[in-house]
Amino acid sequence: MAATDAVAAARNRDAGAYEPAVDRLAGADRSGLVLGGVVRLLLEETHPDGLDGDDVRQVLERCVRGAAPWRPEVDPHVLLVLLASALGVYDPGADDAPPDPAEVARHAPLLVADLLAATGRPLEGYLTTAFAEVARTELHD
């Protein structure tokens, strides 16, 4: 699966494996929704009392600092949009278009890998839960 491969490459900081995985991820249906669900689940687990602005800043800074040495084109703004979207608080203004699927695919695995490192747990359980939530939401829409 593209998401698993991309997150594994991000965790290993393997640029050679990362590019083809994110290319596949960008073409996958609902990958942004699923990875956004994984981010939300991880944020809830790592911050059980909720997040404040300082917590979001710390997550963002840690992710950017961890990714920048091997992904110098990492865009903090895209990561911030992904965080805000996962938390359900992203509201793009007139001048702020949301990132395209390719940008989401290039950045979401970085964020997921960073948050997974904080939990020490594997991705699979989070993916299963996120897929189920997306399917449930689509069923009720």
pLDDT in tens, 5-15: 999 999 999 99
- The residues, any chain, with a CB within 8 Å of residue 72's CB and separated by 6 or more, are none
- The pLDDT tens digits of the residues spanning 31-74 come to 888 899 999 999 999 999 999 999 999 999 999 999 999 999 99
The answer to whether residues 37 and 114 touch, using CB atoms and an 8 Å cutoff, is: no
Do 127 and 3 form a contact (C-beta atoms < 8 A)?
Answer: yes
pTM metric for this prediction: 0.92
9-to-18, 48, 60 alpha-carbon distances in Å: 5, 28, 19
Using the CB atoms, write b or e for 88-116: b if 16+ within 10 Å: eeeeeeeeeeebeeebbbbbbbbbbbbbb
